[in-house]
Amino acid sequence: MDPLLDFSGKTVLITGAGRGFGKLLAEQVVVRGGNVVLGDVNEQVLQVAEAIERRCCHDLASGRAVAMINDVSKESDCKKLVDCAIEHFGQLDIAVNNAGISHELMPFEMIDADIMDRQFAVNVKGVQQGMKYQLAAMRKQNGGSILNVSSMAGLIGAPRCAGYSAAKHAVIGLTKTAAVEYGKYNVRVNAICPFFSLTDMVTKSGLVQNITLDEAKASLSRGAPLGRLAEPEEIVTMMLMMISPANTYLSGQAIAVDGGKSA
């Protein structure tokens, strides 16, 4: 296998793995020889792990996909997920902090404390608390890679998404700070900033209400030079490249995957 895509023997922790990017990434890692530790607040993640073992490993007893119901807004849950990786596989090579939530579209002046508290509890503290234990494990083993899922809304303004945008900007701040602090321990930390892709988070956010799917795609892709939205698989392809064991010098970066929108 091409070393760029070879995850043989690597243990990859993925939050928000019950659906969307997290689920697709987990499948791709296992196909490429890796082990995965999956967390999600929804119990669906347990079925995802079982399906991965059945489809990718052809053996429900292989143990290469382990899952637990996990709420990243709780620090104890973040610790348990890292502990699970160490207990099952002896190490944690890669962590992907993918779990996140959006909020309904609304004017800035309607964003209240409850919305901000929830955005920061999941999208910011969930990343920070996860990294706290991921970084400690990687420091002890003198190496590792962390990928945080931010958003284009973390790089530019996002009208009517003020709470979400603020939280995703904060994720980039955490990413860059950790990259500077932990580079001496051979730990790389990066963020990926996707443009719109029709995952559940987007379809349930209010962005596509009262219009057809084709109308939503046309509206959301406006301004992107490639003239379309990303397919979830296209975002996951970049995630794979960023966490690849062969990608050893990229750190502290927030990479836009946006069809040219930010250009």
Q: Give the active site residues.
A: 164
Find where tokens 């083993």 sit: 141
Which letter does DSSP use for residue 229 in this model? P
195 by Cβ neighbours in 10 Å (0-12 / 13-18 / 19+) ranks as: buried
Nearest to 93 by CA among 25, 227, 186: 186
**At which residue do the structure tokens 């607040």 appear?**
41
Tokens 């979830």, located at residue: 232
Torsion angle of C-alpha atoms 12, 14, 18, 24, degrees rounded to 10: -60
> From the CB of residue 212, how many other CB atoms can be counted at a distance below 10 Å?
9
Write phi, then psi, for 141 (nearest 5 degrees). Answer: -95, 5
Quote the tokens at residue 136: 């400690």
- Show Cβ contacts of residue 242 under 8 Å, excluding neighbours closer than 6 positions: 147, 190, 192, 250, 255
Residue 132's closest CA among 87, 189, 91? 189
User: Which strands form 94-97's sheet, in the order they lie side by side?
Assistant: 65-69, 35-40, 11-15, 94-97, 144-149, 187-194, 254-257
